Chains A and B, each alone.
Chain A
Amino acid sequence: MIATSVKAKINGLPVEVPVGTSILEAARSVQVEIPTLCKHRDLMPTAACGLCIVKVSNSRRLPRACATAIEEGMEVWTHDAELTRVRRTTLELILSNHPNACLTCGRNGDCELQGMAADFGIRQDCIPRYVRELEPDTSTGSIVMDFSKCIKCGRCIEVCQEKQNVWALSFLQRGIQTRMAPAGDISLSESPCIRCGQCSAHCPTGAIVENDETATVWEALRDPDKYCTVQIAPSVRVALGEAFGYPPGTDLTGKIYAVLRRLGFKAVFDTTFAADLTIIEEASEFVQRFVHGKGELPLITSCCPAWVDFMEKRYSDFLPNFSTAKSPQQMLGVMAKTYFAEQEGIDPARIYQVSVMPCTAKKYELERTDEMFASGHQDVDVVLTTRELARMIKQSGIAFKELADQEADSVLGTYSGAGVIFGATGGVMEAALRTAYHRITGKNLEKEAIDILPVRGLEGVRSATLNVAGNEVRVAVAHGLNHVETLLNQVRAARERNEEPPYHFIEVMACPGGCIGGGGQPYGVCDELRKQRIQGLMQSDAAMPLRFSHENPEIQTLYRDFLGEPLGEKAHKLLHTRYAARAAYKR
């Protein structure tokens, strides 16, 4: 029989862990934290920083705890005078290759390198500083890469290449000249980068950060001529709290509404409302394709701008499969500057629409195509990520935790549980199916069948077959772009053989876990954290009386008073968009 676990000792403490567990992980099981700057819980070890060296009984060398599996009978020592001394020198070396600019850095106070330097009590620059000056890359407008702050841990490259399969970032050159950059002397915006921001979410330092637009928002808020409105995305409510010491997954919707009003926003909307709107359009689209055979199957969701960009660059043969429905952010933007403006009698030119998103790619979506100006103005003016909002709240001096819950503003504030789960992988699918079922059968799903469990979870690709009024509906969900290819290849193969597609409906989210794991969310994302955030959304959904998008009264009013029919002429003009193939490399 093959042993499934190994017994070993760490600092004299016995441990028993599954075969293949790294020394680093094994040490955590006995409450020993081995310092590391390159190993991220979410990623494979890159063995770059050299801080996690340990002593083991059967070797004179000092293996890296992150990349060495603990073996049966191994005795490991993680901390002694020599190890600490070597780690300290190594850390000083890393610091000597990093600008001394903490006070003006985007990661000040939330930086792993800074934290490590503080823990080691480094008080002096013993080794002269050498930093290669390179212009920061601001070309994407979503993320800012400052190469000089990079410690070459390799996380961004691991996540960009392996997790996301984007391959925008790579290690170029070697030795002290090594840097992470797109292939050749091009900017990020000329590369296949889809601005998902996963690199920034995993970066241990300020080398890759979101493009901070808080100053723009502050300025807008102070401008008396502007009527500032705001929307918050579903996944923001369960993650923002982490920045204020709440356990991950805590739903803070009411507090967030309250703080946004305090910050000076005149109307507080919820993107979740628009998620319901998206579902109405998308489900209608699905029914049209599935029942009436108008349009390509499978229908593929398009709420995620990073995924849209990826598809346009990589899988342009799937353009006709894409749902033309805009993302909730853009739908809310256009509704705010048309419907809301009309209702409230405000000049839409005065409305300044801010959206708070878990995502850096959303910053790109604002100007993606002409359709993003459907209201006659730029529908959404600026996007803040969750991290930026947390920063604004802290700047404002508002005691966030003490605030009493408030409600969102009508007419774009009521939402259903179906909209809430948009933030989790599989959520869009689940929400759409709830409404599509109704559209096809004329009835709602039974109470116990509302949770469509097969599409939930964290496996990279999940598929399910549902029986809708005697019809078999085959659906699939993928998250993390490295999982998309297999799925699409199945569809392509069927297409080539002229067979029926293996799926009717596919949901794709670029970031692992969906929006709750977005590139603009608080740091430290790993599967454990993703589960907690998803749990937060699912609980909120389950607790809501309203669980179907089509039952959202505000949505019903909206169609009746303003939009007309789903997929109708006005809906089409305001709520739908187009896609075009693009070259991955512009140079």
Chain B
Amino acid sequence: MPESVPVKAFQELLDAVPQVLFEQWIRIGMDTGGIAAGADRLWDVFEKECAVTGVEAVLQRTGTCGYAYLDPLVELKSSGHAPVLYGCVDEPLAVRIVREHLLGGRLIDDFVVAPRRRSKDLGEADNIVLVKDSSCEGEDRTATAQSLLLKALRHHGLQDRVQVVRALDMGIYKEGLVVQLLPSGVTYTNVLNRDLERIVEQSIRDRAIVEDLLFNEPDPQTRIVLRNCGSIDPECLDDALRHGAYAGFARALGQGSPGQTIDCIRESGLRGRGGAGFPTGTKWKLTRDVEADLRYVICNADEGDPGAFMDRSILEGDPHSVLEGLMTAAYAIGAGKGYFYIRAEYPLAVKRVELAIAAARKRGLLGKNILGSGWDFEVEVRLGAGAFVCGEETALIASIEGKRGSPHPRPPYPSVKGLWGKPTCINNVETLASVPWILTNGAKAYESLGSGNSRGTKVFAVTGKVRNPQLVEVPMGTTVSDIIYKVCGGVQDDVPIKGVQTGGPSGGILPEKHLETPITYENLQKLGSIMGSGGMLVMDENDCMVDVSAFYLKFCVDESCGKCAPCRVGGYQMLQLLLKISRGRGSEDDLVQIDRICEAMQSASLCGLGQTAPNPVLSSLRFFRDEYSAYIEGGTSYARKRKKALSEGKSMKEAV
């Protein structure tokens, strides 16, 4: 098959990208979280120290790789070693990193974050041994193990070739002492002191696996959406192109037809990641099938769920993948114009998307006659202004049109009559960021991940009473408990988990007994929750479900657009009843009224916000009714005690 014009044009574009390989580089995670933790100051420190010491290293900014609990993160490649990730870096540590690691070739104890790679094959030259005691009880054995390992290395005369470094985080929890060899990634767990000698002897000296200690469990995570986050410079198109950006789009544009692209996405099983889970390919097809002179695509980046930061991280870490996804969607449905609708509260994401658009336009990836294909497409950024309801499609459209973000009745659906009355396709950030991967790796590869009707991966922002709050990307069908215990290190302070809230203010609470449920759209719905955009809030025994339900409901009441009565008045009145109960002045009759209001809101509200606002309350009533009863029976004195315990972060037992 002869190469088509766009493919050739793209190849020329790629060829023009300088392929530089830096010997030494420092990548600083500069997303909002990283910057809040001081990443911008680190940049200056690194710059200055490198100049002072004469170290030659390229400074790069990246987004977050997801380990929010370890911000700020710095990844660095020195000439003698594989790349190493440092977490919780402060200014003095930055100085040390330059002087000791880059200049002196010695990794720094207690700040290295182990890669999540778990290999079964030893490499040629493992020269780093990471060690960390992953159990949380008893004495920390990390330091002892380090000295024992050192001793063993010296015994075999390997001390000059191999370093032993105490790690900050291994990504493995409650598996005793963990030892990881780098760069191969062979990992041993539940290592006893007497095993250390064996590891050195067998694995390092003789390059053989110690089978009985080998940690064989793969990391539950699969990174598709976050594939480039933390490793590319989001403000540099060249860097993105080097990592494969726009290749899938160019191929779709050059070799396929819009119909084929839609088919590819349909076959992949990708569903909307904004919450409702509508099949993306079908949505594209519906929009394409409507006769119109003009169609629009919109990237919904109005991430409003409290406690969710997936979309922000993606936009800040890899804006090109979202833009590529949007361009693909536009090409597939035949849209001439696209919009990014981003929260104004995310200035950095806005800036990076704007830079990405400008860079893409400059290289001919946007604008007129894209890659010589004859197809024109333009993108513009529009800002939200602090209204959660604008995540709802019809409200979002109203907002882009410059009006109040009040939802409209559907039908007509946006795919028929959307922005300025034209067919419009609205996709969420994460959905769009998955598209380039599917184009590059094929629908089959994506479809092979997941469970049931939920295919591919999903990014979750795990927060709350979890040890390591972070971004997690797992295949659909992973259980909640795997995410919490295997990826996020379990619960903070080891207080037992009471439940996990998914889906934010539109979702529900999964009680502890359901944590083994594989996460799919259907399973969550069965349990009265929803996938939502991916917020996952872990609550422990000290948290009060009545209080949390009231928090979510208050959110919806504040964010209700006020247009329709069931949501406007219903939400407010239900909140009053909840607050009355939590003051210890409630009665069983109040619960009856709450049930009635929930039904009215679900049935008669105009949009998703009102229809789903009762979910947290209904779900807590379903699984934790005893907590409501405790308030009702215990009266004001119970309520006072409960409030005191909550404000002190203690359990009822401890507080009383």
Interface set of A (CB-CB < 8 Å, partner B): 45-51, 53, 62-64, 67-69, 82, 85-87, 89-90, 93-94, 96-97, 126-128, 130, 151-152, 154, 171, 173-178
B231 at the interface (CB under 8 A from A): no
Within 8 A of A (CB), among B546-586: 557-566, 568-573, 576
Minimum Cβ distance to chain B for residue A260 (Å): 42
A174/B564 contact (C-beta < 8 A), A93-B573, A127-B597, A130-B576 known = no
Q: Which of B409, B558, B559, B600 contacts A89 (CB 8 A)?
A: B600
A175/B570 contact (C-beta < 8 A), A127-B597, A151-B565 known = no
Contact, CB under 8 Å: B596 / A50: no
A86/B606 contact (C-beta < 8 A), A152-B568, A174-B562, A176-B562 known = no
Set of chain A residues within 8 Å of B605, measured between Cβ atoms: 50
Set of chain B residues within 8 Å of A177, measured between Cβ atoms: 562
Contact, CB under 8 Å: B569 / A97: yes
Contact, CB under 8 Å: A174 / B606: no
Contact, CB under 8 Å: A89 / B562: no
Set of chain B residues within 8 Å of A171, measured between Cβ atoms: 404, 562
A96/B560 contact (C-beta < 8 A), A127-B593, A176-B568 known = no
Contact, CB under 8 Å: A128 / B562: no
- Chain A to chain B contacts (Cβ below 8 Å), 28 pairs: A47-B409, A48-B563, A48-B564, A50-B604, A53-B603, A62-B603, A68-B409, A82-B603, A86-B600, A90-B570, A93-B566, A97-B565, A97-B568, A97-B569, A126-B593, A130-B573, A151-B565, A152-B562, A152-B563, A152-B568, A171-B562, A173-B562, A175-B557, A175-B558, A175-B568, A176-B557, A176-B560, A176-B562
Minimum Cβ distance to chain A for residue B358 (Å): 34
B99 at the interface (CB under 8 A from A): no
Which interface residue of B559, B596, B603 has the most chain A CB atoms within 10 A?
B603
A527 to B599, CA, bound (A): 37
B411 at the interface (CB under 8 A from A): yes
Interface 0/1 of B375-387, CB less than 8 Å to A: 0000000000001
Which interface residue of A46, A50, A90 has the most chain B CB atoms within 10 A?
A50
| Closest Cβ neighbor of A82 among chain B residues | B603
B117 at the interface (CB under 8 A from A): no
Extra inter-chain contacts (10) besides given A48-B564, A93-B570, A178-B563, CB under 8 Å: A47-B563, A62-B603, A82-B603, A89-B596, A90-B570, A90-B600, A97-B572, A127-B573, A130-B573, A175-B561
Q: Which of B559, B564, B596 contacts A49 (CB 8 A)?
A: B564
Set of chain A residues within 8 Å of B558, measured between Cβ atoms: 175
A64/B600 contact (C-beta < 8 A), A49-B565, A96-B573, A176-B568 known = no
B408 at the interface (CB under 8 A from A): yes
Set of chain B residues within 8 Å of A97, measured between Cβ atoms: 565, 568-569, 572-573
A86 to B605, CA, bound (A): 11
Minimum Cβ distance to chain A for residue B334 (Å): 23
A50/B572 contact (C-beta < 8 A), A127-B597, A176-B557 known = no
Minimum Cβ distance to chain A for residue B559 (Å): 7
Contact, CB under 8 Å: B593 / A48: no
| Closest Cβ neighbor of A37 among chain B residues | B565
Set of chain A residues within 8 Å of B404, measured between Cβ atoms: 171, 174
User: 8 tightest CB-CB pairs across the interface, nearest first?
Assistant: A178-B562, A50-B604, A89-B600, A67-B409, A175-B560, A93-B569, A176-B572, A86-B603
A85 to B596, CA, bound (A): 9
Contact, CB under 8 Å: A89 / B599: yes
A174 to B403, CA, bound (A): 13
Set of chain B residues within 8 Å of A152, measured between Cβ atoms: 562-563, 565, 568
A50 to B570, CA, bound (A): 11
Set of chain A residues within 8 Å of B565, measured between Cβ atoms: 48-50, 90, 93-94, 97, 151-152
Set of chain A residues within 8 Å of B600, measured between Cβ atoms: 50, 86, 89-90, 93
Contact, CB under 8 Å: A86 / B568: no
Set of chain A residues within 8 Å of B561, measured between Cβ atoms: 174-175, 178
A128 to B565, CA, bound (A): 16
A171 to B561, CA, bound (A): 11
Set of chain A residues within 8 Å of B562, measured between Cβ atoms: 152, 171, 173-178
A90/B409 contact (C-beta < 8 A), A85-B599, A171-B404 known = no
Set of chain B residues within 8 Å of A46, measured between Cβ atoms: 563
Minimum Cβ distance to chain B for residue A298 (Å): 35
Contact, CB under 8 Å: B411 / A178: no
A128/B573 contact (C-beta < 8 A), A53-B603, A178-B562 known = yes
A50/B573 contact (C-beta < 8 A), A68-B409, A127-B597, A175-B559 known = no
Q: Which of B571, B599, B606 contacts A47 (CB 8 A)?
A: B606
Set of chain A residues within 8 Å of B409, measured between Cβ atoms: 45, 47, 63-64, 67-68
Set of chain A residues within 8 Å of B570, measured between Cβ atoms: 89-90, 93
Set of chain B residues within 8 Å of A86, measured between Cβ atoms: 599-600, 603-604
Minimum Cβ distance to chain A for residue B350 (Å): 23
Contact, CB under 8 Å: B606 / A64: yes
Within 8 A of A (CB), among B342-371: none
| Closest Cβ neighbor of B566 among chain A residues | A50
Within 8 A of A (CB), among B317-361: none
Minimum Cβ distance to chain B for residue A150 (Å): 11
Set of chain B residues within 8 Å of A176, measured between Cβ atoms: 557, 560, 562, 568-569, 571-572
Set of chain B residues within 8 Å of A82, measured between Cβ atoms: 603
Within 8 A of A (CB), among B378-434: 387, 404, 408-409, 411
Set of chain A residues within 8 Å of B604, measured between Cβ atoms: 50-51, 53, 62, 86-87, 90
A342 to B457, CA, bound (A): 93
A128/B576 contact (C-beta < 8 A), A89-B599, A171-B562, A178-B562 known = yes
| Closest Cβ neighbor of B572 among chain A residues | A176
| Closest Cβ neighbor of B559 among chain A residues | A175
Set of chain B residues within 8 Å of A90, measured between Cβ atoms: 565-566, 570, 600, 604
A177 to B560, CA, bound (A): 10
A64 to B607, CA, bound (A): 11
Set of chain B residues within 8 Å of A127, measured between Cβ atoms: 573, 593, 597
Which interface residue of A47, A171, A173, A176 has the most chain B CB atoms within 10 A?
A176
Which interface residue of A45, A48, A51, A174 has the most chain B CB atoms within 10 A?
A174
Minimum Cβ distance to chain A for residue B275 (Å): 16
Set of chain B residues within 8 Å of A51, measured between Cβ atoms: 604
| Closest Cβ neighbor of B562 among chain A residues | A178
Minimum Cβ distance to chain A for residue B606 (Å): 6
Minimum Cβ distance to chain A for residue B430 (Å): 25
Set of chain B residues within 8 Å of A47, measured between Cβ atoms: 408-409, 563-564, 606
Set of chain A residues within 8 Å of B559, measured between Cβ atoms: 175
A86 to B606, CA, bound (A): 14
Minimum Cβ distance to chain A for residue B587 (Å): 12
A52 to B557, CA, bound (A): 23
A53 to B596, CA, bound (A): 16
Minimum Cβ distance to chain B for residue A172 (Å): 10
Set of chain B residues within 8 Å of A62, measured between Cβ atoms: 603-604
Set of chain B residues within 8 Å of A63, measured between Cβ atoms: 409, 411
A110 to B26, CA, bound (A): 76
Set of chain A residues within 8 Å of B593, measured between Cβ atoms: 126-127
| Closest Cβ neighbor of B556 among chain A residues | A175
A93 to B604, CA, bound (A): 12
A374 to B497, CA, bound (A): 84
Which interface residue of B557, B559, B561, B596 has the most chain A CB atoms within 10 A?
B596
A68/B572 contact (C-beta < 8 A), A85-B599, A177-B562 known = no
Minimum Cβ distance to chain A for residue B200 (Å): 64
Which interface residue of A47, A51, A175 has the most chain B CB atoms within 10 A?
A175
Contact, CB under 8 Å: B569 / A96: yes
| Closest Cβ neighbor of A176 among chain B residues | B572
Set of chain A residues within 8 Å of B557, measured between Cβ atoms: 175-176
Set of chain A residues within 8 Å of B572, measured between Cβ atoms: 97, 130, 175-176
A150 to B563, CA, bound (A): 12
A171 to B398, CA, bound (A): 15
A94 to B561, CA, bound (A): 16
A151 to B564, CA, bound (A): 10
